[in-house]
Amino acid sequence: MQSMSRGVNAYVAVLAVTASAILVFAMPARNEIDLTAVLVISALFALLESKVFRFRIGVGLGMGFPVALASCLMGGPWAAAVTGASCLFVLRRVPPVKRVYNASQYAIAGFCAGTVFVLLKGHPGVLGASEFPRVLLPVAAAAIVFSVVNAVLLSIVLSLAEDVSVKQVLMGTLVKSIPASLGYGLFGLLMAVLWRGVNVGTLAALLVLVPLLVARWAFSQYGAEQDAYEATISTLVQAVETKDHYTRGHSERVSRASVMIARVLGMREDRISALRYAGILHDVGKLGVPTKLLQKTGRLSESEYEVIKGHPLRGIEMLSNIDFLDEAVAGVLHHHERVDGLGYPMGLTGPQIPEFARVIAVADAFDSMTSTRSYRGARSVAEAVEELLRCKDTQFDPQMVDALIEALERTQWLPSDLPVDLGLDSVLSEIDAAARDHDDPTFSVSSSEEIA
């Protein structure tokens, strides 16, 4: 740890010296720069960087980016460096080292972007109608250089601080930041055109930023609402699970295992997010199963088992009014189908079973085998995997089983060893129930051995 932080400090020191050198030595003659404009725009930059929005889509670019680019287009390399360095004065709590680091990084990136802009025959400060469309190329280049330099400097500091390879971090940030930088770059260009070309001054900058700020606000609201949504459904589902505390956290873990499988399969992000919800909600139909049946000790009669088998149908009855969950609903409905057609509720076979359902089926069985039940202890991950392999081709889709096994090699699985105390015990009455387990593939029903 000690050596790592020393490495970071040394790195920040090098960047700070470079940035200072740029500010001192690259300063143009007084009559070549509009110092007031540079100061106003730098203040604006610092102000925008002061407010950090929580942002889940796109990474690495602050709200200040368009302003920094506008500064580069209006004043050239040195002005951009000054604007970047103004980050030293952001109005939020930042540790001194980080503050110096951010300012140096933006100053260097701004200077590089400005230099590239000038090298490609862009004329800082001249943005009248005659410059178009020729100026678009240097502007795009400047925007890309700004974000690439930022990404490189950032990945170095991350690799120093967290001991991951530069390349790994760089690939993650670069791919996402280049398209975003072009989009944001447009705002920078608009700001510069209005400020210089139409002569509207500071007001123009503010007006250009309004739609962007409002969009950002809406995105951050979206993220917050999404988190609230996830928290709400998992909690409500947990409340349901209190009917039988041996299954506590089961839905959450099924959801987690399903996402692990989906990642190995390379599923799209939006589908993964739908699958996450499907995992959490897959047993919601159990609410319709009378509590005394779920908590019954001992074997179930065939008619009682029929009632339990109705739970996926009851589940979709509840969920079908939620618009976006279409694919998730199919996953919930069919999560007890088997590839050999002996499952329920419809007895679909193989590829007829929706992909989500095939994923959830494996995740569901895996978690119930590795959890403690009233009538048996938890099995080890290895035993559960062996059991999954045994039932592959009859009960489970082999592709999903293999995917889970691959995922388990990558990440460690943390099974629930004992029923977790969720803090609800104080208020919710508990009945120790020895429910027989319809999720566990090794457990069979007394009357119909093959349907389990």
Radius of gyration of the chain (CA): 29
Q: Please list every residue from 290 through 329 that binds other proteins, using CB under 8 A.
A: 290-291, 314, 317-319, 321-325
Question: What is the SS3 assignment for 68-112?
Answer: HHHHHHHHHHHHHHHHHHHHHHCCCCCCHHHHHHHHHHHHHHHHH
> Which residues touch 216 (CB under 8 Å, ≥6 apart)?
53, 55, 63
Per the CB < 8 A criterion, the answer to whether 359 and 366 are in contact is no
| Residue of 5, 126, 179, 229 that binds other proteins (CB under 8 A) | 229
Copy the structure tokens of residue 39.
């100061």
Per-position x/- string for 413-442, each x denoting binding to other proteins as judged by CB under 8 A, each - no binding: ---------xxx-xxxx-x-----------
Least Cβ distance, residue 284 to other proteins (angstroms):
7
Least Cβ distance, residue 234 to other proteins (angstroms):
8
| Residue of 35, 175, 231, 420 that binds other proteins (CB under 8 A) | 231
For other proteins, which is the closer residue by CB, 119 or 431?
A: 431
What gap in Å lies between CA 360 and CA 282, rounded to an integer? 8
- Considering only 10-18, 38-46, 225-233, 438-446, which stretch makes contact with other proteins by CB under 8 A? 225-233
For other proteins, which is the closer residue by CB, 245 or 392?
A: 245
- Considering only 70-78, 217-225, 338-346, 376-384, which stretch makes contact with other proteins by CB under 8 A? 217-225
Per the CB < 8 A criterion, the answer to whether 189 and 73 are in contact is yes
Which residues on neighbouring strands pair with residue 392, listed in sequence order? 396
What gap in Å lies between CA 225 and CA 231, rounded to an integer? 10
Per the CB < 8 A criterion, the answer to whether 144 and 181 are in contact is yes
What is the DSSP annotation of 155-192? HHHHHHHH---HHHHHHHHHHHHHHHHHHHHHHHHHHH
How many residues touch other proteins under the rule CB under 8 A: the total is 66
For other proteins, which is the closer residue by CB, 10 or 214?
A: 214
| Residue of 129, 409, 410, 449 that binds other proteins (CB under 8 A) | 129
Under the rule (CB under 8 A), what is the footprint of other proteins? 128-129, 183, 186-187, 190, 193-194, 197-201, 203-204, 207-208, 210-212, 214-219, 221-222, 225-229, 231-233, 235-236, 238-240, 242-243, 284-285, 287-288, 290-291, 314, 317-319, 321-325, 422-424, 426-429, 431
